[in-house]
Amino acid sequence: MADLLPSTPDTSAVEDAEPRVIGLDSEDADDLIGALSSGTARELLTALHEDPGTPSKLADRVDTSLQNTQYHLEKLEDADVIEVIDTAYSAKGREMNVYAPANQPLVVFAGGEEKSTGLKAALTRLLGAFAVLAGLSVLVQALAGDLGGLFGGDPAIGRPAPGPGEQPVAGNPNNTTTVETTTAATDAATGTVDAAAAGIPPGAAFFVGGALVLAAGFAYWYARHN
């Protein structure tokens, strides 16, 4: 049993969290504003969005006492801002709750219930689109990384692999000169490819471009419906 301590919590539930939209004039807004009125509470919530954790670890991350951390975590939990997603065990075998944000993301806005429902649905679709975009970006990057291999080169650096006839013969300086000349010519021919490869990775460029399109589309939708 001692070899299993401390344990690692399961934080997969955070990925399944849905967006939450709270109207500024709703009762939930009162609880939320009250829970977030303290700077320490806001720091704790920010820390949880970065990485779920136990009260003791959160206290270290925001540089406050364990008692103060537990107080604010209880208020945030009462406001349904955070929730317990798992339990973990310390090195001494003590059971601890693992907290995480209850929603991804949390949006507070001024408007009626009808707009709240529409905004939540739009945010859900937007997050789904970002997930698809991330998957496509990984695919683009993987394809770009394999292009070197498709053309007979090293996939890692995109340069042509030396052929059997380009290997220098030991003790023959003429062969060495031939190899160096051939390599220099190859480097010049592939200079443009190397320069492009030194810039933004294709997958990252694809994701940034897609994110801008999604953000612009969401802004246009929001402007038309408000």
CATH number at residue 56: 1.10.10.10
Domain count, the chain: 2
Mean pLDDT, residues 137-151:
64
Q: 8-12, 76-80, 123-127, 180-184: which has the highest mean pLDDT?
A: 76-80
Longest dimension (CA), the chain: 86
pLDDT: which is higher, 123 or 206: 206
pLDDT at 68 over 50: yes
Q: Of 78, 94, 110, which one is at a domain's C-terminal end?
A: 110
Let me know whether 158 and 129 are in one domain.
Answer: yes
**Average pLDDT of the segment spanning 2-21:** 60
Find the range with the poorest average confidence among 5-9, 59-63, 76-80: 5-9
Range of the domain at 136: 116-224
- Whether the CB-CB separation of 17 and 81 falls below 8 Å is answered with no
Instruction: Please enumerate in sequence order all residues whose Cβ is within 8 A of that of 118, keeping only pairs 6 or more positions apart, or say none.
Output: 225
Residue 191's pLDDT band, with cuts at 50, 70 and 90, is very low
Q: Check whether residue 102 and residue 130 sit in a common domain.
A: no
Judged against a pLDDT cut of 50, whether residue 193 lies above it is answered with: no
For residue 54, the SS3 value is coil
Q: How far does CA 173 lie from the centroid of its chain?
A: 53
State pLDDT tens for residues 102-137. Answer: 876 777 766 555 555 566 666 667 667 777 778 888
Angle at 100 between CA 98 and CA 102, to 5 degrees: 135
185 vs 75, residue with greater confidence: 75
Is pLDDT at 11 greater than 50 in this prediction? yes
Whether 77 and 143 share a structural domain = no
91 and 188 part of one domain: no
Q: How far is CA 19 from CA 107, 108, 128, 140, in A?
A: 8, 11, 11, 28
List the single range of 71-75, 125-129, 147-151, 157-161 with lowest mean pLDDT.
147-151
Which of 59, 94, 110 finishes a domain? 110
Is the same domain home to 178 and 130?
A: yes
- pLDDT 10s digits, 15-59: 666 677 777 777 778 888 888 889 999 999 999 988 999 999 999
Q: Residue 71's pLDDT is what?
A: 95
Report the range of poorest mean pLDDT among 64-68, 106-110, 136-140: 106-110
Long-range contacts of 132-139 (CB under 8 A, 24+ apart): 133/207, 133/210, 133/211, 133/214, 134/207, 136/206, 136/210, 137/203, 137/204, 137/206, 137/207, 137/210, 138/203
Q: What is the mean pLDDT of residues 201-225?
A: 77
Arithmetic mean of pLDDT over the chain = 71
Mark 137-173 as b/e (b = at least 16 C-beta within 10 Å). beebbeebbeebeeeebeeeebbbeeeeeeeeeeeee
Domain-terminating residue out of 84, 110, 136: 110
Give the residue from 85, 19, 78 showing the smallest Cα distance to 52: 85
**Which of these, 186, 193, 195, lies nearest to 161 by C-alpha position?**
186
Residues 91 and 174 in one domain: no
